């Protein structure tokens, strides 16, 4: 099996549940605490490619800081949204799990099972 990586926030219940499901499959993933080890723009673009999504699709618009700093991401292109995510990593939807050339967002956590 290809290496499995989870972009994890241990304070998030969905992220913890997703990690537990991966481990229940006997897999010990690489854990990236993305709020501390912030992915750069190239890494975010790679994740988006694996997810098959646009940057706006993984933007957490409900965050209080998002509301304070942004009126609307609808007027921003992908590069501007990615730049925003590198500055404010908590705006990135979580958890993101990668396996080879595929990735999923663990919402709901059971979504991760489609990778295995």
Dump pLDDT digits (tens) for 21-49. 999 999 999 999 999 999 999 999 999 99
99 an active-site residue? no
Q: Per-residue pLDDT for 7 more than 60? A: yes
Fold entry, domain 4-115: Glutaredoxin (3.40.30)
Strands 96-99 and 4-8: antiparallel
- Catalytic one among 3, 6, 7, 12? 12
Q: What is the mean pLDDT of residues 2-12?
A: 95
pTM of the model: 0.92
To which residue do tokens 């537990």 refer?
Answer: 20
């Amino acid at each position: 099996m290809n290496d499995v990586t989870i972009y994890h926030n241990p304070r998030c219940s969905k992220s913890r549940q997703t990690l537990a499901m991966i481990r229940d499959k006997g897999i010990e993933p690489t854990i990236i605490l993305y709020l501390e080890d912030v992915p750069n723009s190239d890494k975010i673009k790679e994740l988006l490619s694996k997810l098959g999504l646009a940057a706006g699709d993984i933007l957490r618009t409900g965050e209080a800081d998002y509301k304070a700093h942004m009126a609307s991401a609808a007027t921003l292109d992908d590069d501007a949204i990615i730049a925003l995510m590198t500055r404010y990593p908590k705006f990135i939807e979580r958890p993101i799990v990668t396996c080879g050339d595929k990735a999923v967002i663990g919402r709901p956590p059971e979504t991760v099972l489609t990778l295995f």
